[in-house]
A and B are shown apart, each in its own frame.
Chain A
C-alpha cells in the first residue's frame, strides 16, 4: 500500500479507526463525564451524554473527604518508594551484567525474570503471616518492599537492555582518554544512561501505582493507596456513581498521562525483549 492511496480509502479507514477507538475509549470517557454530574443525573435513565447540569461538586466532595488525600499520598509514596528501592538494587546489577558479562550472566538474568512469573497467591500466606508477626501489615515500608521486589525483575531487565545499548567503544574511548573506572561511570556512562533510567522509572511507577493484589490484601487504613480506596466503593450505600467517577478520574489521571508517554517502554519492559 505505497503511493496511490485513494482518498476514499483513507477516509473510510479513518472513520472505522476512530469508531473502534471511540468504542474502546468510551468507558473512560463516560466515567469522566459522569464525574461532572449530580448523583441523580448519574443514575438517571436514559443516560444523558452532554446536555446535563455540569457540576464540580463531586470533586470537591472527594477532596473534602480528608482521607482521599491520604490515599493519594500513599499511592505516591508506595509507587515512588518501590521505584527508588528497585533502582538502588537494580542499577548495580544491570550495570555489571551488561558490561561485565560472564558465562552465567544469561542464566542469572533468565532466572530473575522467572521470579516475576510466580503467581502472587503462591506466597500470599507466608508474606501475610510474616508481615503480621513483624508488624508490617498496613505499613508503608512493608508495601514498599513488597512492591519493589515484585517488580525488581522488570526493572533489572529494562536497565540491562538500555545499558547494553550503550556502545561499548565509547566507554573504551573514555578508558583510552585516561578515565579511571569511576570517572568512566560518572562522566560518560551515567549521562548516556539517563534516558534509559528515566524510561524504567516511568514504567515502574505505572506498575506500582496500579498494583492491585498486595495493596488490597496487605493494607487497611494507614498505607492503603488509591487502588484500595476505590475498592471500598464496591459495597457502598446510596447513590455513589458520580462520586465514584470523580474519585476514579482523579486516581487514574496521572497514570493515563504517564502511560501515553511510555508506550515504547511498555513493549520493552513487559515482553522481556521477546519482541523487537
Chain B
C-alpha cells in the first residue's frame, strides 16, 4: 500500500553532490524519520521522493513502480510543508478539499471527507475561516488535514513543527504520532531535532552530507551507534567522546560514554577532575567536569546533587556502557 524504496538515489546541483548513493527501504505503515544536521540533505531527499526535485540518478519505487519520471501530482503522496503553504485566498474547507477537487471527486464526497478530517483535527469550527485568521497551531492542523484527506500512499512531513513554540511543539508531536498510528499510513518525517526523531519514529535514518550514516530504531541508535557521527548526534546532552590515553586504555582510538551513564562520587572513580559548571534543574543535575587528559566531561546525575564549581569528583562509567570506536570513527564490537 505504501512501501517506498530508494535504490542508488543521487542528486547533484551543478557540481555539488547533495545526495550520494542512498539505498533505503521504508516498510508500509511505518513512521520513518530522516534526521541530521543542517545541510545534510534530508529535506532534499524528501523532495526527491515527493517529486518536487528531479533525481540525478537512481530509482525511487513506490509499491514497486519506479516514479522517477512521474510528476508529483501523480505520485499519490501528500506533503506537509514547514511553512504550511496554505492557499491564502481559500477557506479552510476549500484548502483541505483542494486535492480532492483536483482529482475530480463529486462534491458530496469532498464535503464528507473534509468534515471527517476536520473533526479528527478539531478544526470543524474553523472550516469557513481563511488561513490569515488562524493561529500557527491551527494552520498546521489545516496543513495536516489537507494531507490526510486524500488518503495518500504516504505522508511526507518537512520539519512541520519548527515554526511552533516549544509547548505547542510537544503537543503536536503527540497528535501527529497518534494520528499516524490510527491511520496506519506510511509516514516520512524530516527534522533536525533528535528528540522529535527519538519520540516519534519506528525507524530513524541518520543523514550526514548526503549519505546515510545509520538506519535503525531509536533504541538501536541509542545503544549501538555505528559510528562517531551517530554517537554524537543521538542523545541529549551529547555523548562524551574521549580520545588519547583514556581511550587507549580500552583498546580504541576514541571511546564514548553518555552523560547519564557516569556515576559521580567524591572519592575514587575511574577518572578524577574538578567541577567547572554545575546546573541544577531539580529533576537532574548537569555537571561539567574537567578531567586531565580527557577534557571537559558532561555528567547527568538524577535528582539533586549538591556539588558546586571547584569541587573535586571521581567519575565511573556504568558497566557495558562504554562505546569504542576505531581511528576511522567506526564502532568496534563491544
Binding site for B on A (CB under 8 A): 167, 169-170, 172-180, 183, 187-188, 191-192
Contact = CB atoms under 8 A, between A and B. Distances in A.
B89 A177 contact: no
Q: Which 7 A-B pairs have CB atoms at the shortest separation, nearest pair first?
A: A177-B99, A173-B85, A178-B102, A169-B85, A191-B89, A176-B79, A178-B73
Interface in B125-144: none
A213 to B, nearest CB: 40
A177 B86 contact: no
A174 B98 contact: yes
Given A177-B99, A178-B150, A183-B102, A170 B87 contact: yes
Interface residues of B, number: 24
Contacts of A188: 87
* Interface SS of chain B: loop
Given A180-B73, A183-B102, A175 B52 contact: yes
Interface of B: 50-52, 71-74, 77-79, 81-83, 85-89, 98-99, 102-103, 146, 150
B24 to A, nearest CB: 21
Nearest to B102: A178
B81 A177 contact: no
Given A170-B86, A191-B89, A179 B81 contact: no
A169 B83 contact: yes
B53 to A, nearest CB: 10
Contacts of A170: 85-88
14 contacts: A169-B82, A169-B83, A170-B86, A172-B81, A172-B85, A173-B81, A173-B85, A175-B52, A175-B73, A176-B73, A176-B77, A176-B99, A177-B102, A187-B98
Contacts of B79: 172-173, 176
A179 B73 contact: yes
A177 B85 contact: no
Contact of B52 (A172, A180, A187): A172
